[in-house]
């Protein structure tokens, strides 16, 4: 199983475990992630949720081979099912990120309450480079967090950035040595065991009350454009280049 779950000391751990593919996420994995988050949210024994990957890689984002092989047509994409589960989770969500965090590996952090990254973390949102557009409401949330100019740099140019910049931009709480990230994140998660659980949930709702509906609308708007872009000549060129291990040539497009 490529998504592992465990419950220990009231912390529900959700672990992406596919290191041989750099934790690239398939449709089946997205559905498992969504179920894990929903189960944790519904379980009264759970006080917090901890999402993590493997040492040196959080996730390389979508498994593009699986994604192109299993297009959903008019059905909701498995990735969107996961997005909705995380957006609507009312318990604290803590992310422990080491190494690579690509695409949704970065955009999901916008929806976590606490994010801890390793010194070697490398985050990126290379959607435009694939002929696609941003997802997970990043087109809404990132400009609100970092301003339009920096968001344009990150989303339109797809510029990767490191751990210190993630903290400076407000995307992460702290940078830690790689070997300390998961333990530190777990200690933060366990702090909720001593706090009033209903008060924590209501505080999270208040923090997010102005944005939840807008976030869900943004996800829907992005998915509509994203789905349209998948059939575009630019995306076909970008994905062909990816599979052929070459740089895409967009010079023919206007």
What are the respective helix, strand and coil percentages of the chain, to the nearest 5? 50, 15, 30
Q: How far is C-alpha 168 from the geometric centre of its chain's CA atoms?
A: 19
193: which residues sit within 8 A by CB, 6+ positions away?
Answer: 9, 10, 47
Q: What pLDDT does 70 receive?
A: 72
Q: Which residues pair with 117 in a beta bridge?
A: 97, 175
55: which residues sit within 8 A by CB, 6+ positions away?
Answer: 98, 99, 178
The CATH architecture of the domain made up of 1-178+197-254 is: Alpha-Beta Complex (3.90)
Q: What pLDDT does 124 receive?
A: 97
Other C-beta atoms lying within 10 Å of the C-beta of residue 127: 24
pLDDT in tens, the chain (254 residues): 699 999 999 999 999 999 999 999 999 999 999 999 999 999 999 999 999 999 999 999 999 888 877 765 556 889 999 999 999 999 999 999 999 999 999 999 999 999 999 999 999 999 999 999 999 999 999 999 999 999 999 999 998 999 999 999 999 999 999 999 999 999 999 999 999 999 999 999 999 987 889 999 999 999 999 989 988 999 999 999 998 999 999 999 98
Sequence spans of domains, the chain:
1-178+197-254
pTM beyond cutoff 0.85: yes
Q: What pLDDT does 68 receive?
A: 78
């Amino acid at each position: 199983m490529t998504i592992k779950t465990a419950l220990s000391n009231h912390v529900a751990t959700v672990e992406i475990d596919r290191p041989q593919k750099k934790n690239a996420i398939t449709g089946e994995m997205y559905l498992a992630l969504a179920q894990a988050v929903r189960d944790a949210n519904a379980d009264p024994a759970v006080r917090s949720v901890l999402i993590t990957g493997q040492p040196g890689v959080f996730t390389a984002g979508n498994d593009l081979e699986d994604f192109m092989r299993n297009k959903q047509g008019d059905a909701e994409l498995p990735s969107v099912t996961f997005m909705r589960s995380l957006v609507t989770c009312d318990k604290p969500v803590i992310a422990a990120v080491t190494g690579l965090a690509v695409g949704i590996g970065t955009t999901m952090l916008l929806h976590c309450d606490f994010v801890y990254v390793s010194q070697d973390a490398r985050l990126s949102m290379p959607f435009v480079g694939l002929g696609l557009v941003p997802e997970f409401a990043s087109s809404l949330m990132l400009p609100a967090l970092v301003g339009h100019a920096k968001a344009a740099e990150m989303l339109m140019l797809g510029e990767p950035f490191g751990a210190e910049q993630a903290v400076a931009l407000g995307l992460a709480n702290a940078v830690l040595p790689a070997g300390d990230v998961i333990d530190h994140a777990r200690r933060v998660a366990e702090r909720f065991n001593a706090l009033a659980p209903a008060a924590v949930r209501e505080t999270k709702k208040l923090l997010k009350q102005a944005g939840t509906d807008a976030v869900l609308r943004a996800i829907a708007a992005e998915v509509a454009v994203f789905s349209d872009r998948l059939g575009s000549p630019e995306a076909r060129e970008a994905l062909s280049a990816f599979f052929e291990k070459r740089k895409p040539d967009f010079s023919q497009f206007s």
